[in-house]
Amino acid sequence: MTVHLVGAGPGDVELLTLKAARLLAAADAVVVDRLVGPEILDLISPGAERYDVGKTPGRPGPTQGQINDLIVALGQRLDTVVRLKGGDPYIFGRGIEEADACRAAAIDVEVVPGITSAIAGPAAAGISVTERHVSSGCCIVTAHQDPKSDTTNWQALADSGLTVVVLMGARRAVSIAATLMAAGRPAATPSAVITNAARDGETVWAGRLDQLGVEPVASPSILVIGPVAARAVATGEFDPTVLDGLRDRHLASQ
């Protein structure tokens, strides 16, 4: 009769916590997100009920209300329910809404933090999101906030000088770069994109803010904007000089 909200980390099974692995092996039911890797799913007890509630961008999936109802129903019926979420359950994971739904139904909740992609992704590219004498802090923001409740003050973010880490920004990289430059961040600000961090197919793009997103950004990706991103080690054959003039044309076509 406990629902465990468990962070699965960014993808690499070795970045899972010991507690998460123990709970997966003991679970009566596991409710799984899209960004959880196959090696982690292999740790689930063979006898456990398994529910895939992954939301794929642009495709219909279960609503958050339906996911909440499922978790509550499982929590009322079974002893050990694991709600397994990518990264950390409380970083853009809607974990708090699921915890609220369980508590409202008098079901015990335990939160098991995971390593968030917002920190592990940059680290995989050689970036420390805070760095003494370079950046005294970082802001983790979503590019996918409901426009009706968007609380992000991009001007304040640009003025702060802090490292900006953007999740769910693959399709909005160009407009985020434009917004930050309009707010005063220099066009030459070091920037990086880490795609599939700590999982198969990991790639790193490194360049300037005015080049960010000109090459299509695949999902899932993390955008890092700020001087700390100068340490990013790009992978692949990217040649920034091919972008001369492309960005303006790309923006004009939007």
Ligand X SMILES: C[S@@+](CC[C@H](N)C(=O)[O-])C[C@H]1O[C@@H](n2cnc3c(N)ncnc32)[C@H](O)[C@@H]1O
Whole-angstrom CA distances from 12 to 35, 44, 52, 196, 222 are: 11, 15, 19, 10, 16
Residue 93 touching ligand X (CB under 6 A): yes
User: Which is closer to ligand X, CB of 105 or CB of 231?
Assistant: 231
- In the set 12, 33, 88, 210, the catalytic residue is 33
Measured from the CB of residue 254, what is the shortest distance to ligand X in angstroms?
A: 20
Residue 10 touching ligand X (CB under 6 A): yes
Residue 35 touching ligand X (CB under 6 A): yes
Measured from the CB of residue 196, what is the shortest distance to ligand X in angstroms?
A: 5
Residue 113 touching ligand X (CB under 6 A): no
33 a catalytic residue? yes
Site residues for ligand X, 168-197, by CB under 6 A, read: 168, 194-197
1 a catalytic residue? no
| From candidates 24, 48, 74, 117, binder to ligand X by CB under 6 A | 117
Measured from the CB of residue 232, what is the shortest distance to ligand X in angstroms?
A: 14
Residue 122 touching ligand X (CB under 6 A): no
- In the set 19, 28, 55, 181, the catalytic residue is 55
Measured from the CB of residue 21, what is the shortest distance to ligand X in angstroms?
A: 18
Query: What six digits make up the tokens of 145?
Result: 């906030």
Whole-angstrom CA distances from 253 to 93, 180, 248 are: 33, 19, 9
Bridge partners of 81, per DSSP, are 3, 29
Using alpha carbons only, what angle is made at residue 21 by residues 16 and 22, rounded to the nearest 5 degrees? 145
181 a catalytic residue? no
Residue 127 touching ligand X (CB under 6 A): no
Residue 207 touching ligand X (CB under 6 A): no
| From candidates 135, 199, 212, 217, binder to ligand X by CB under 6 A | 199
| From candidates 68, 116, 189, 211, binder to ligand X by CB under 6 A | 116
| From candidates 193, 198, 229, 232, binder to ligand X by CB under 6 A | 198
**Could you list the residues that contact ligand X (CB under 6 A)?**
10-11, 35, 85-88, 91-93, 116-118, 121, 167-168, 194-199, 219-222
Which residues participate in catalysis according to the annotation? 33, 55, 168
